[in-house]
Structures are given as structure tokens and as C-alpha cells.
Chains A and B, each alone.
Chain A
Amino acid sequence: MNWSLFFGELVSGLTLGSIYALIALGYTMVYGILKLLNFAHGDVYMVGAFIGFFVLQWLGGPLKPVVTGWLAVAIMFAVAMIGCGALGVGIERFAYRPLRNAPRIAPLISALGVSIFLQNSALLLWGPQFRNYDSFDLVGVKSYHIGSNFFISNIQILTISVSIALTIALTLVVSRTRTGKAMRATSFDRDAAEMMGISIDRVISFTFFLGSALAAAGGIMFGLVFGQIFSLMGFTAGLKGFTAAVVGGIGSIPGAVLGGFLIGLTEAFATGYLPGGSVYANLYVFALLIAMFLIRPSGLLGSPVIQKV
């Protein structure tokens, strides 16, 4: 048993999974409230990664940042999260809100349109080439180990812990604050919530803000972990993020995180152990999705939807 391979893939999987979890959270929250598959979410993630990149450039670049490496990273996070939060709110306001009462397919196609728009705008403005985060020069990559087989780098630790921290923060907001209560009410019964005096527009905007901010955080973490970002990264990441949300049970926040880690681990272990590894890794994730649909359509932690007739 090759333990170092096992632990290597385990850590890889958890790191990847944390990123997917952050994306999945955005999907699950929006679907919970609007029953909408926000196709553009993956591209918001990509924009977040790019905002982080440009902030880094503005701060002097990874080699000679104006402030210390970790502070630069913190600033990148802050700016990207707020920027993407605003982007998410804007998208909702102009592409989804007018279609709240339209046939179900209309917002889906609008979402598709936004996704195409964002992806290709990025391609047009920033080109198809990869951009470097250069985490090595920025913060220095240090590797820690337990025993002779378990290795984990500081960036991986950062990714996993930030992800967990943000999830905890989100859970606190949703369960302890009034806005969180309003969000939960809206996701149960929009009309009733509106009649109880909750401003649906504000709740939905806030939901989009949170989801998009989390996606942006995920984007930056991707850049830090893998060192490079590119305009088309939103597509597959978004797909896997949504798969994670569905596998974990759409509408459930812990489910999204669980799903994220599951997908990340599947991808990592498939790459490491199964034939055709990295090329077919996406297929294995797909197979997992199909399996979940057949066995338990409401996901691991989701609750089956009861329709009032």
C-alpha cells in the first residue's frame, strides 16, 4: 500500500473539495430560494480569480508586492469577494429578476446567456493565456509533514481552513441572524414570506451577494493552489460545483460542503488510482452524479420536496 500516494491524493482531494464546496454553496443557496440553476455562477468564480490577479498586479506583482505576501492575499480576498458580490447582485437584478414570473425555462436561458457573456468578455479582454499567481514567490510554499508519508503545504492548509471558516460563518449568518431567517423563510414559501413583510428583493440580492463572494474566494484559492488561472476555468469548475451541490442535497448548506469534498476526493483518487487517470477524472465524477440520481435523487443531506396540490 503506497501510503504517500494515498495521503497525497487525500490532501489534494480535500483541497480541491474545499474549492468546490465554496462554489457549491452559492449554487445551493440560489437554487434553494429561486429554484434557479445559476449557470453564470462558475463564471463569477472565474472573475473572482481574475480580480484577485489584477489586485495583485496593482500591488506590485507577486515578486515585489508593496505589502507583505499574506497581507496582499488578504487584500485580494477582500476586493474580489466584494467585487464579485456586487457582480452577483447585478446579474440577479438585470438578468433574473425581470423573469421571476416567466416560464421556468426563461431564467435558465438568461443564465446561459450571462455565462456566455462573462466567459467571452473575459476571453476578449484578458485573452486565453494563463495568468500566474506565482504563489511560490508571493507567500512562499512551505511543506509540513506528519511521519514520512503525510505531506501538506501551507497553501493547502489555508485553503481547507478558509473554506471551513467561511462555511461556518455562512451557517451562523443563516441560522442566527434575522436576514438569515428571512432567507430560510423565502426559500420555503416566497409569497408567504412577502406577506410577512420580508423584502424578497433584498433577501434574494443578499443571497446572491453571499454566494458570489464565496465563489470569488474559491477562485482566489484556486489561483493560490494551482498557481495559474485562465478565462475558461469557470466552466468545468461550475459544473462540478453544481454536481457537488446536487450530490450533497440541493438546498442544504452542509450538504453542499459534503458534496464538494466528495467530488474533490473522487477526482483526486480517480486521477491517482484509476486507469486513464487525469483524462477521465471528469467522467468518474459524472458517473458519481448519475449514481446519486439513481439511488437517492434528493442528495445525501437533502430532503425530498413535497408538492402541495
Chain B
Amino acid sequence: MALLELHDVSKAFGGLHVIDHLSLHVDQGEIVSVIGPNGAGKTTVFNLITGIFHVDSGEIVFEGDKISGLAPHRITNRGIARTFQTLRLFLNMTVLENVMAAEYGHTKATFLEAMLQLPRSRREEKRIRKLAEEKLSFFGQRLAGYRHDQPAYSLSYANRRRLEIARAMATNARLLLLDEPAAGMNPHETHEMTELIGKLRDDAGYSILVIEHDMHVVEGISDRVIALDHGIKIAEGLFDEVATHPLVVEAYLGVRAEAEAV
């Protein structure tokens, strides 16, 4: 059974059909990349999976349970976490707090317990902190030590991207949705990110669904690639198959280029 399944999902905004009868799946331990030209609906797929938008028709199933229609925070509690294409960190909170905040879903201490500093709340705080530091240490020295107490807005761009991933990890998710994780990075940083994504699967056991434009990254990480255009899946398979698929070439470069490519 697949970890995540989309069955015949459609979403329209007014007259614009952004997602049209899309079906896809992600298996346990896989890294699946979603590619496609701008406007293909890739981020919308993420938004549908995480519950920000509701599907018009079709359903989304995670670990056998239907999640389409649930509130976003409940979906996250089920085990799906994401990063954002345009970075949405809590800029005025510290690095550590950003990560600790995301652990809300798997904590239990109530407001009253925190006010009165009852033992359960104190124990949980320690646990939350430890987990956050652990997730941050995944990124080596970059987000370690003194960085923990710095406000997020003081981080460099690449570090912010890493922080967002750490934050998503802190939710104890099993499936990560990474929206253009290497966007805006120089070749060195991109290389590091590619390795990192591999590490996420190999060392930490995540299944990952990635939206990416940089084909080097896609080639380097993917077990499987799905290509979208205008909300429909136009190709699926290994990187080499999809990259040379006529429809994909046409979607990116146009018809004549496709003719020349053949």
C-alpha cells in the first residue's frame, strides 16, 4: 500500500481548472519529484494535500485514511509536513523557537499546566527542546549552538531554507513535501541540498515529495519523477524516461523544439 495516494483529484478556481483528474502516489521510503512549467499546478497539489485548499472532486489518502477535507493542522498531525516555495518562517522568533513551535501537534501539556508549571509541562518542555536541537543538528554546524537563539530574520537565505526543513521535521512527519528547496541557491549550496535530501531519506527514513525546477537536483535525488502540465499528469517514471518524453519537452520548450529533439 502506498504511503500517499491521490485519486482523481480536481481543483478549479472560478473557470480555471488548476488540477484536472490527477492521480499519483508516493511509496514508503521513496523520493518522488514533481516537475512541470510554471502554472502547471504543482504548488496547488501541495496545498491540496496539506489541506489549505479543499478538493473539488476525488480524494487524498494517507496511510490508508482519507485526509482530503481535514483541517491543515490535523493533516500535519497525521504525518505530513511541508516547506513553502516563498519561505514562511516565523521571522521574529528565534531559530530554536521556530522548530519548537512546530512540535505543538505531538505535545499534550495544557495551557493551565504551563501556567502553573506542573511537572508534565516541565518534562514536555525539556523533551520539546531536545527534539528541536536534534533536528537542527541534522544540518551540522550551520544551525548549531549560538544560532539557536538568533532571530530567524538574521539567517542567510540558504540557512532559512534549511530551517524550514528542520521545522517541518519537528512535526514528526513521515512524509515531507519540499516546495523548490533549492530555489535561489548557488551551485555549492544546491549540491549540499541535494545531498541533504538524500540523507533525509537514507538516515532519517523520510518519504519525500519534491517540487523542483533544477534538473540536476531532480536527477540526483529522484526514485521517480512525475511531470505535470496544466494540471494533468503528462509523464511518470524514471528521470531519463521523463526528461526525454515528448510531451514534457513540448511543455517546457514548445512544439518545434520537440520536433527537433526527436
Chain B residue numbers with a CB within 8 Å of A306 are: 13
Q: Does A195 contact B (CB under 8 A)?
A: no
Asked if A309 contacts B13 (CB within 8 A), the reply is: no
Residue-wise interface mask of B (29-61) relative to A, using a CB-CB cutoff of 8 A (1 in contact, 0 not) = 000000000000001000100001000000000
User: Of residues 76 to 119 in B, which have CB atoms within 8 Å of A's CB atoms?
Assistant: 84
Report the separation of the CA atoms of residues A306 and B16 in the bound assembly, to the nearest whole angstrom.
13
Chain B residue numbers with a CB within 8 Å of A309 are: 43, 47, 52, 84
Chain A residue numbers with a CB within 8 Å of B43 are: 309
Report A77 CB to chain B, min CB distance, Å: 41
Report the separation of the CA atoms of residues A302 and B43 in the bound assembly, to the nearest whole angstrom.
27
Residue total for A at the interface (Cβ-Cβ under 8 A)? 2
Report B129 CB to chain A, min CB distance, Å: 28
Report the separation of the CA atoms of residues A20 and B192 in the bound assembly, to the nearest whole angstrom.
61
Report the separation of the CA atoms of residues A309 and B83 in the bound assembly, to the nearest whole angstrom.
11
Number of A-B contacts (CB under 8 A): 5
Report the separation of the CA atoms of residues A306 and B52 in the bound assembly, to the nearest whole angstrom.
11
Report A193 CB to chain B, min CB distance, Å: 20
Report the separation of the CA atoms of residues A306 and B47 in the bound assembly, to the nearest whole angstrom.
12
User: Of residues 278 to 309 in A, which have CB atoms within 8 Å of B's CB atoms?
Assistant: 306, 309
Report the separation of the CA atoms of residues A306 and B43 in the bound assembly, to the nearest whole angstrom.
15
Report the separation of the CA atoms of residues A126 and B47 in the bound assembly, to the nearest whole angstrom.
56
Report B41 CB to chain A, min CB distance, Å: 13
The residue in chain A whose Cβ has the minimal distance to the Cβ of B47 is: A309
User: Of residues 166 to 202 in A, which have CB atoms within 8 Å of B's CB atoms?
Assistant: none
Report B98 CB to chain A, min CB distance, Å: 18
Chain A residue numbers with a CB within 8 Å of B47 are: 309
Chain A residue numbers with a CB within 8 Å of B52 are: 309
The residue in chain B whose Cβ has the minimal distance to the Cβ of A307 is: B52
The residue in chain A whose Cβ has the minimal distance to the Cβ of B86 is: A309
User: Of residues 3 to 37 in B, which have CB atoms within 8 Å of A's CB atoms?
Assistant: 13
The residue in chain A whose Cβ has the minimal distance to the Cβ of B85 is: A309
The residue in chain A whose Cβ has the minimal distance to the Cβ of B43 is: A309
Report the separation of the CA atoms of residues A306 and B13 in the bound assembly, to the nearest whole angstrom.
9
The residue in chain A whose Cβ has the minimal distance to the Cβ of B179 is: A309
Report B86 CB to chain A, min CB distance, Å: 9
Report the separation of the CA atoms of residues A205 and B161 in the bound assembly, to the nearest whole angstrom.
39
Report B91 CB to chain A, min CB distance, Å: 12
Report B155 CB to chain A, min CB distance, Å: 21
Report the separation of the CA atoms of residues A306 and B18 in the bound assembly, to the nearest whole angstrom.
14
Chain A residue numbers with a CB within 8 Å of B13 are: 306
Report B12 CB to chain A, min CB distance, Å: 11
Report the separation of the CA atoms of residues A309 and B43 in the bound assembly, to the nearest whole angstrom.
8
Report the separation of the CA atoms of residues A309 and B53 in the bound assembly, to the nearest whole angstrom.
10
Report B108 CB to chain A, min CB distance, Å: 29
Chain A residue numbers with a CB within 8 Å of B84 are: 309
The residue in chain A whose Cβ has the minimal distance to the Cβ of B13 is: A306
Report A191 CB to chain B, min CB distance, Å: 13
The residue in chain B whose Cβ has the minimal distance to the Cβ of A303 is: B14
Report B49 CB to chain A, min CB distance, Å: 12
User: Of residues 221 to 245 in B, which have CB atoms within 8 Å of A's CB atoms?
Assistant: none
Which A residues have a C-beta under 8 Å from some C-beta of B? 306, 309
Q: List 5 A-B pairs, Cβ < 8 Å.
A: A306-B13, A309-B43, A309-B47, A309-B52, A309-B84
Nearest 5 pairs between A and B by C-beta?
A309-B47, A309-B52, A306-B13, A309-B43, A309-B84
